[in-house]
Amino acid sequence: MQRLQERFGARELTATAQGRFHVAHQEVCESLDDRLDRALKLATAAFRDLPYAYAAEQAVTKFCHGLIDKEAGKHVSLQSPTSMGDAMNMVKLYSRVQSACAAAPRYTQESEQEESRWVHGVKKAPTADEVSVSAVD
């Protein structure tokens, strides 16, 4: 059986597997779960002669660095996740927070000035500087 495996078992060279691992990134239609699985699979093949803990550590790093959402990848990578599960949870949390912040109303400098004019339900008159700034706008 071993001779048959040696003869017909097409095993990828370590250097080739490492090259594929280093250039891997999330595809446009690839889900986070699929991205996580692929990063782990590529790391396992690329570092098959090293302890699994090293391959898993490299997979976590590559998972973060290869995300389409570069800001999410950078944010999660800076938190140094210790496992793929931690990295996945951090990416999902980051995405939820980003969505919530994007949905929140935006305040402009003008709306902040308007808000600051209200004191205990009584509107203050705008100052001369505020009037001149409003006239320019």
Instruction: Report the C-alpha gap between 74 and 90 in whole angstroms.
Output: 11
User: Of 24, 15, 20, 18, nearest to 62 (Cα)?
Assistant: 24
Rg of the chain over Cα atoms, rounded to whole angstroms, equals: 26
Q: Where are the alpha helices (DSSP H) in 47-83?
A: 52-65, 70-78
Q: What per-residue confidence (pLDDT) applies to 124?
A: 54
Residue 106 has pLDDT above 90, yes or no: no
SS3 31: coil
pLDDT > 80? residue 111: no
Confidence of residue 126 (pLDDT cuts 50, 70, 90): low
Residue 131 has pLDDT above 90, yes or no: no
Choice among 44-53, 79-88, 117-126 with the minimum mean pLDDT = 117-126
Share of the chain above pLDDT 70, in %: 70
* pLDDT, mean over the chain: 82
pLDDT tens, 2-52?
776 666 766 778 888 899 999 999 999 999 999 999 999 999 999 988 999
Distances in Å between the Cα of 114 and the Cα atoms of 7, 98, 110 are 79, 27, 6
Strand duo 118-119 + 122-123: pairing: antiparallel
Structure tokens at 24: 């891997």
Q: Six-digit token pair at 7? A: 């003869």
Grade residue 107 by pLDDT with cuts at 50, 70 and 90. Answer: low
- Residue 118, strand partner residues: 123
pLDDT above 90: residue 114? no
